[in-house]
Amino acid sequence: MAPLAEALAAAAEKVAGVAAGRSLADPAQDVQTASEPGLRAAVSDLCHGTLRRFGRSQAIVGALSRRAGATDPLVEALLWCSLYALESGRYAPYTVVDQAARACASLRRVGAKGYVNGLLRSFLRSRARIEARVDTELAARFWYPGWWVERLRLAYPVQWEQVLAAGNMHPPMCLRVNVRRGDPDACQARLAAGGIATRRVAAAALLLDKPLPVARLPGFEEGELSVQDAGAQLAAALLQVDSGQRVLDACAAPGGKSAHLLELANIRLTALERDPARCAAVERNLARLGLSAEVRAADCAALDSWWDGAAFDRVLADVPCSASGVVRRHPDIKWLRKTADVAVFAERQGRMLDALWRVLAPGGKLLYVTCSVFPEENDGVVDAFAARTPAARRAALPDGAPAQLLPGPEHDGFFFALLEKPD
């Protein structure tokens, strides 16, 4: 097993990048962690765990040090990662303190060794007092920026703490059975025979009792299975596609919903994605599943760049959003987003809806989808669109599905609105 010091140093570099405003997914955040799987897994755990409780770690360092916020960003990040390592219970306290001090050399911050050692020891000596002190701060208590907490408290007066807690959980791993290639019951039995326990949570959705690498899933490489959140799997069913229809997936990457639509019916699918590299990911996903579609690199709202004037019977508008419903998968999002971003997303979402309404055929249906729990991006956008588009009718979702799906143990947070265009 790789030394913890090496993992702490690599994680500190990535977390410092997030503190400077860079996403964990940014290529510039690629830190060399050699080829050892154990090291890569340790770095990933340290990054995600630290960023889930980022506000808490910042508050603890602030309570223990007069230098907090004024010292070297890499040293600050090393302390945040080390505090998570201490609180995770995965390592003995003396190991974390020792390895954090050693990580200073890897980060070329040898002069900070005494500071790091002393602060972590101070935390261990006065842990209960420090925790009680910082828990009075919203960001430290709930592990979200204060503005995020306040938005959810206003939007969900009864459920806001439940929503926050769900976003701090480790995400569930759910599979979607490709019904063109296999039967969900048979697939579940085959997984069970291989020691992989699952629970059926939807027609073709199998929730794993314990996440595991896709390489261990029998049938994955053969296209019998995909990894897709159970909430995300609702979109294809709610759009109600029929064979022969012309269907548009307006924001398709990485291709999970496109693939699901194709698995459900023999449709003519056009999948759009602005980024050519992400288009390639859609094509790879479809190829693995034995499916095909017209995949094009285009901005769905710039109709002149891609639309040939032929209307679509169904449109899936899974629009870019704050991703506030999936933060447990991307904990850096909580700390990169700003309160003003929500209105920016809502304005863009409205423009996309206006454009996509034009390509929808009379009698057609458009499903508006976000992975957000902020009402401004959801009902707010749809209500504003309906007010300026009198012909649009918001239909009830099939099977009484809720418009706002809040994150929980089985699924992430999503919003769905089904819009119909009259004949």
- CA-nearest of 14, 8, 28 to 332 is 14
H or E segment and range at residue 294: strand 294-297
Nearest CA among 366, 368, 367, 374 for reference residue 413: 374
Q: What percent of the chain has pLDDT over 70?
A: 97
Catalytic positions are 371
User: Is the confidence at residue 33, as pLDDT, over 70?
Assistant: no
Reported pTM: 0.94
Residues 43-64: tens digit of each pLDDT: 999 999 999 999 999 999 999 9
Residue range 238-250: mean pLDDT, rounded: 97
Confidence of residue 373 (pLDDT cuts 50, 70, 90): very high
What's the first-to-final CA gap in the chain, in angstroms?
65
Percent of the chain residues topping a pLDDT of 90: 93
Provide the mean pLDDT of the chain: 95
Which pLDDT score is estimated for 1? Answer: 40
- Residue 38 — pLDDT band, cuts 50, 70, 90? confident
- Checking if the pLDDT of 110 tops 80, the result is yes
β-pairing, 414-420 vs 360-370, is: antiparallel
* 120 class by beta-carbon count within 10 Å (0-12 exposed, 13-18 middle, 19+ buried): buried
pLDDT at 242: 97
Q: What is the pLDDT of residues 333-363, one digit of tens each?
A: 999 999 999 999 999 999 999 999 999 999 9
CA dist 43 to 89, 96, 98, 222, 378, Å?
Answer: 16, 14, 17, 30, 35
Give me the domains of the chain, ranges plus CATH numbers.
4-142 (1.10.940.10), 174-227 (3.30.70.1170), 234-420 (3.40.50.150)
Which stretch of DSSP H or E encloses residue 361?
strand 360-370
